[in-house]
Structure 1
């Protein structure tokens, strides 16, 4: 049996897809250790999870709040300079200490937790990239050479300080393999050594209170922008409430407003949180910001989407949904209730083909293998190291 060290950032959407993989490895008799979750997110890894290095409190890494008006390069620059690079600097000594203590045979490293890649390459440990979003797989900066060069310089600086100067590969893409939690049917063609395993959606405890008795049997349209976009989402969510109130003969709207500023109206239920995985089987459509996890969870249930991307990877994920024929895209900052209503109605119309497209992606997800496929691939990666050591 082998030891696997999972290196993840303190971000829910980047931890959740790996939890099922860790569970499958543990069920097969392997050992799994974690580096990266902070105290608030540690429970996501499960009650039996072990965090390294042991004997010290979990680090309190936290996402620095970005001004909601930042878009494009300004948003990317803030993300890397104010969060991802400092995160790598802070995590690198922790990953080194974890490797000393746990002695992993292989590592699974999130694309945004580059400290794991730096330590793995320097210490000669096989590692796979965990691509919990598909945006980077399509090389989004390939047509922006100045931005790409700026990011290359940031990563080169990290490598000089913490990695191996002999290495030349992009730290976001392991030369051993990139586990992509999606499928080619959604993402489209990509190059390199990408292994599509489909979404890893593990059952997770969710005690979020929800007024289930308020659902009357009509198909549900769920509207959610995620908690990270609460400050910017008010006008959009208000438009969604108005849009759905005009579709009450067809569907029942559920709008997630983390701020609690909106009120239920005309048969549209407004709540601060939802148990999303439990609610999705009742949904006929989902309106979201293009977060990769929400998109994949909806499509795993064959539910078409209306996607209103805000920033980061969301425009790319939204375009993938459109090109796959699984939904429509609207402009987050400019869509009004009328256009939003017609966009939702189009996804509900079977003749539009969006539901069929969503079901096609659903089938590709199911056949890809998910957490089982990822765990099996990682087991083979670790086996190459252990067999080499035996020689």
Structure 2
């Protein structure tokens, strides 16, 4: 039996794939514990053993200013979120390592504190790349921005007296929860292992299944964190779907403020189950939603808002599995045309099917656990 400590930020999309991996490791007899800002980490992991590392309220997604785009969004992400999060989490991760005595530390790609502490303690550490954004070297053509990020990492390394390399990439193992069919060839070394999505079961949510009438179902979801920001976009989607009599629309509206007689509206849905009954999905490009959709072979319409979503939209388009929409500007007629295109042009479904096949072949949760079990473990002290 080995002991795995999973260090995560308080972000749903980053915890979800590791939750499935943690469950598999537990089934195989390993001891697993989590470490992250509380109380969110306990809520997201639904695990019994969680070590606190920072206050989640200081790093809530809702505190981020709306409307940030481009470099302004990247600058805020690094200067106001990732670096302060690392500094805040380090003491808690240190205590977790002392108490749990892990053999291996599994570190989400945005939880740098795990890398810093593991490196200082000479513990094996693994990167969990919940999204494929960094794998393709997105800043390769922007050397000044790349150097700026290197400088921020240098500051973290100096403050913590470690000399490890890029905090985002373990030299031993990077678990990439995607495949090359979607992300493209890797650009960051031979330690990357593409395992495909690790989709964890979601808590049960009631849904009026009897209202599905047999027409091709188009699901629209922006996730709960984008409810207020996405009101205009969701309203345009309702208008677009109302004008397509041969399609049934379902729009997830967490605020409950939209009204329609032609389109189904819901505050919450059992997303994985609904996706399996859908014909296409409109979303913001969150990695979990994209993965769930492509795992079912569904074409996508992606309206990226921020962070890694633009890169994911680009990857879906490059794979031929969907189209990109302008979140801030798209209108109902444009959305209607895009829905018609992805549902009637066979190439989109065929491309989504190819990605689905690659996901299945990658092995998912079982492959991730196999890779972790193959690591040489740390030598424990007395």
Where on the TM-score scale, by shorter chain, does this alignment land: which range? over 0.9
Aligned to 2:298: 303
The alignment's TM-score, normalised by the length of structure 2, stands at 0.94
* Structure 2 residues not aligned, in runs of 5+: none
After TM superposition, give the deviation of residue 22 of structure 1 in Å: 0.5
Cα separation, 2, equivalents of 1:287 and 1:273: 16
Aligned to 2:201: 203
- Which aligned segments of 4 or more residues in structure 1 are displaced greater than 6 angstroms? none
Cα separation, 1, equivalents of 2:337 and 2:54: 51
Cα separation, 1, equivalents of 2:310 and 2:66: 16
Correspondence 1:108-187 to 2 at 5 A = 108-164=106-162, 166-167=163-164, 169-187=165-183
Aligned to 2:185: 189
Aligned to 2:224: 227
Q: CA RMSD in A?
A: 1.8
Aligned to 2:377: 385
Aligned to 1:254: 250
Cα separation, 1, equivalents of 2:56 and 2:139: 32
* Structure 1 residues not aligned, in runs of 5+: none
Deviations 1:131-186 (A, max 9, x none): 0010111111121122112211111111111251x32x110111112110000111
The alignment's TM-score, normalised by the length of structure 1, stands at 0.92
Aligned to 1:52: 51
Cα separation, 2, equivalents of 1:276 and 1:331: 23
In structure 1, which of residues 360, 365, 369 is the aligned counterpart of residue 354 of structure 2? 360
Correspondence 1:239-250 to 2 at 5 A = 239-249=236-246
In structure 1, which of residues 261, 277, 292 is the aligned counterpart of residue 272 of structure 2? 277
Deviates more, 1:176-185 or 1:220-229: 220-229
Per the alignment, in what secondary structure is the counterpart of residue 355 of structure 1?
helix
Number of residues of Structure 1 aligned to a counterpart in Structure 2: 378
Deviations 1:202-239 (A, max 9, x none): 223233x3332322222210011112222321211111
Deviations 1:251-286 (A, max 9, x none): 210111222221123x21122222101211110000
Cα separation, 1, equivalents of 2:212 and 2:40: 32
Aligned to 1:375: 369
Assess if the C-alpha contact under 8 Å between 1:52 and 1:102 holds in 2: no
Cα separation, 1, equivalents of 2:269 and 2:325: 23
After TM superposition, give the deviation of residue 312 of structure 1 in Å: 1.0
Correspondence 1:344-359 to 2 at 5 A = 344-349=339-344, 351-359=345-353
Per the alignment, in what secondary structure is the counterpart of residue 107 of structure 1?
strand
Assess if the C-alpha contact under 8 Å between 1:121 and 1:163 holds in 2: no
In structure 1, which of residues 57, 81, 89 is the aligned counterpart of residue 79 of structure 2? 81
Assess if the C-alpha contact under 8 Å between 2:8 and 2:107 holds in 1: yes
